[in-house]
Amino acid sequence: MVSIIITSGPTRQYLDPVRYLTNASSGRMGRALAVAAIEFGYRVTVITGPVSLNYPDNCQVVPVVTTQQMLAATQAAFETADGLIGAAAPCDYMPSFVSEQKINKTGDSLHLELLETPDIVATIGNNKKSHQWVVGFALETDDRRFRTIVKMQKKCCDLMVSNAPSAIDSEQNTIEIMDKTGQVIQTASGDKREVARSILQQIRQKLIEKNPYSAE
Task: List interacting residues with a second copy (CB under 8 A).
Answer: 12, 15, 17-24, 50, 52, 89, 91-93, 96, 101-102, 104-105, 107, 109-116, 139-142, 147, 165, 168
- The residue among 40 and 93 lying less far from a second copy, judged by its C-beta, is 93
Known active-site residue 163 = no
- The residue among 133 and 137 lying less far from a second copy, judged by its C-beta, is 137
Q: Distance (Å, rounded) from C-alpha 69 to C-alpha 60? A: 16
CB of 110 to a second copy, least distance (A): 4
Q: Is 144 buried (19+), middle (13-18) or exposed (0-12) by CB count in 10 A?
A: middle
Catalytic residue among 23, 126, 127, 173: 23
3-class SS at 128?
A: coil
CB of 203 to a second copy, least distance (A): 25
Q: Which of 177, 155, 173 is nearest to 165 (CA)?
A: 173
Determine if residue 190 is left, alpha or beta; phi over 0 gives left, psi from -120 to 50 gives alpha, anything else beta: left
Residue 86 has phi, psi (to 5 degrees) of -90, 80
- The residue among 61 and 65 lying less far from a second copy, judged by its C-beta, is 65
- The residue among 79 and 142 lying less far from a second copy, judged by its C-beta, is 142
CB of 88 to a second copy, least distance (A): 13
3-class SS at 163?
A: strand
Q: Distance (Å, rounded) from C-alpha 30 to C-alpha 165? A: 15
Q: Distance (Å, rounded) from C-alpha 81 to C-alpha 201? A: 18
CB of 108 to a second copy, least distance (A): 8
Active site residues: 23
